[in-house]
């Protein structure tokens, strides 16, 4: 019997019992993302049961209903109070004028079966420091909230309009670093074949994770790489076979503590090595 609570990460449930994927996905359409291996890597390690319930517009009791038959046992000691619907708007949003907010409805993208992450990150880059991006969605985008608040957003706020419309506001940081060319960043190296092999040889096979993202459709490669980096231990490296130099990914890694080496013979044969500095 596995003890869990509302604060247990979805990844822990899946590790304990892989059948929990189908059980959770059955609760709400937004949670069906867990069936996609790529999206599962991104979502599961960041989201708790309580957050997933909010994402899916369901309840912790519903999670109990589908997880108890799988051998899980709930500890309600740390169950959070669900008062988000009554949470007042923060001052930074309350005092903002409509021209300070960029409203972006991503529901059409999702309805077409695509993941809007790349478009959202690109849209957020165009928002001026101190201004606000509002993502309109049919569920609470908890993984996105975690992702943007790591580096780029000072604060976020979720407003529930109805059961099919959620508005998530992101306040962009006032102080942004001066824009610079990704290729000029000291943490990014475009290596010759010999130099690339030399840096790869510094990491033994048992400390090098190899992945091939060439067959994945966008934004699958970026999702997969980011998920692998999140789990990459110190002193290990991620070796990637890619079919192009992933400029958008490199921009995402610019402010993070990674060193990136790239060997590109042509646009269809790109090798990358990424590790923590």
Are 271 and 238 in contact, with CB atoms under 8 Å apart?
no
Q: Cα–Cα distance between 121 and 98 in angstroms, integer?
A: 21
Q: What pLDDT digit, counting tens, does each position of 177-193 carry?
A: 444 444 434 578 888 89
Domains of the chain, with CATH numbers? 2-78 (1.10.3910.10), 84-172 (3.30.1370), 182-276 (3.30.110.40)
The answer to whether 228 and 200 have CB atoms below 8 angstroms apart is no
Judge whether 271 and 208 are in contact, CB under 8 Å: no
Q: What is the pLDDT of residues 43-98, one digit of tens each?
A: 777 788 988 888 788 889 999 999 999 999 988 765 555 444 457 889 999 999 99
In this predicted structure, what is the pLDDT of residue 68? 93
Tally: H helices and E strands in the chain: 12, 11
Whole-model pTM: value is 0.53
How far is residue 31's CA from residue 19's CA, in Å, rounded to a whole number? 14
Mean pLDDT of the 193-217 span: 93
∠193-217-112 over CA atoms, to 5°?
160
Q: How far apart are CA 170 and CA 254, in angstroms?
A: 20
- Integer Cα distance of 48 and 63 in angstroms: 11
Measured CA distances, 146 to 108, 151, 153 (Å): 23, 9, 10
Among 69-83, 206-220, 248-262, the range scoring the smallest mean pLDDT is 69-83
CA atoms within 13 A on the CB side of 185: 23
The answer, yes or no, to whether residue 41 has pLDDT greater than 60, is: yes
């Amino acid at each position: 019997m596995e003890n869990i609570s509302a604060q247990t990460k979805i990844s822990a449930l899946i590790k304990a019992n892989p059948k929990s994927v189908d059980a959770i996905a059955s609760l709400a359409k937004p949670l069906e993302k867990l069936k996609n291996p790529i999206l599962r890597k991104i979502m599961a390690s960041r989201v708790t049961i309580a957050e997933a319930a909010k994402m899916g517009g369901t309840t912790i009791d519903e999670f109990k209903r589908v997880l108890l038959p799988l051998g899980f046992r709930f500890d309600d000691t740390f169950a959070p109070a669900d008062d988000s619907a009554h949470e007042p708007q923060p001052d930074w949003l309350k005092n903002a004028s409509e021209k300070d907010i960029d409203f972006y409805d991503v529901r059409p993208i999702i309805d077409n079966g695509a993941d809007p992450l790349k478009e959202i990150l690109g849209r957020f880059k165009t928002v001026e420091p101190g201004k606000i991006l509002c993502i309109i969605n049919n569920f609470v985008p908890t993984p996105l909230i975690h992702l943007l608040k790591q580096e780029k957003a000072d604060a976020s706020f979720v407003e529930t309009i109805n059961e099919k419309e959620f508005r998530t506001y992101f306040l962009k940081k006032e102080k942004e670093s001066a824009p610079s060319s990704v290729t000029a960043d000291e943490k990014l190296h475009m290596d010759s074949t010999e130099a690339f092999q030399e840096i790869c040889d510094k990491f033994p096979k048992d400390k090098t994770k190899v992945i091939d993202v060439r067959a994945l459709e966008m934004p699958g490669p970026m999702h997969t790489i980011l998920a692998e980096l999140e789990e990459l231990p110190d002193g290990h490296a991620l070796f990637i076979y890619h079919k192009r130099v992933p400029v958008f990914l490199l921009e995402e890694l610019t402010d993070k503590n990674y060193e990136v080496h790239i060997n590109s013979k042509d646009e269809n044969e790109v090798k990358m090595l990424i590790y923590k500095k």
